Amino acid sequence: MSKIDWSSRFGTLVHDVARVYSRRFDRRARGNFDLTRAQCRVLVMLHRYGVQTQAELAERMELTPMALVRLLDRLREKGLVRRERDPHDKRAHLLYLTQASEAKIDTIVAFANGVERDALADLTPAERAELSRLLGKVLANLTRAEAEGPASAKPASGTRDAGRLNQETPPD
């Protein structure tokens, strides 16, 4: 079996970039706003999509309902989110931003832009555009494959892995 350079594998790189980016955002957000990255994300999603149920937001954020409830409880304690029963469905709760959180949105977005700018600092504008374009293509590929169902056991024909055993190139 050949030696694999895990550090240059796509999945490893994407995971590591996401982990370090998220950690940096989280630490700076806690220091600047006393909010976590996840809490900022809830506020931005409510701002972007407007009033919605907890179930809709949990699905949109790909969180379990319990994980979202913990985030919402903390945001409610800070006076940033309001939760009310849905008048049309007594089992559901509608989520609203408060005036205090509406006032923070522009600051949070500017802050997020700064974290992104730091992460991409050594890239030229053309490289940034190319990175976005390529990641968009990867996302489209994965989204399409996910919609098509479970992955097949063999690589697609025409790929560099076609005809090789999957053990040689483990998934990331």
Going along the chain from its start, the domains and CATH numbers come out as: 10-145 (1.10.10.10)
What digits encode the pLDDT tens for the residues 139-163?
A: 999 999 988 987 654 555 555 444 3
Cα–Cα distances (Å) from 38 to 22, 25, 63, 72, in that order, read 9, 10, 10, 10
Q: Tokens for 124?
A: 């030229």
Residue pLDDT, tens place only, 91-108: 999 999 999 999 999 999
Predicted TM-score (pTM) of this structure: 0.76
Backbone dihedral region of 158: left (phi > 0), alpha (psi from -120 to 50 degrees) or beta? Answer: left
* For residue 170, pLDDT beyond 60: no
| Tokens matching residue 162 | 């076609």
Is-contact 97 47, C-beta < 8 A?
yes
- Encode pLDDT of 130-140 as tens digits: 999 999 999 99
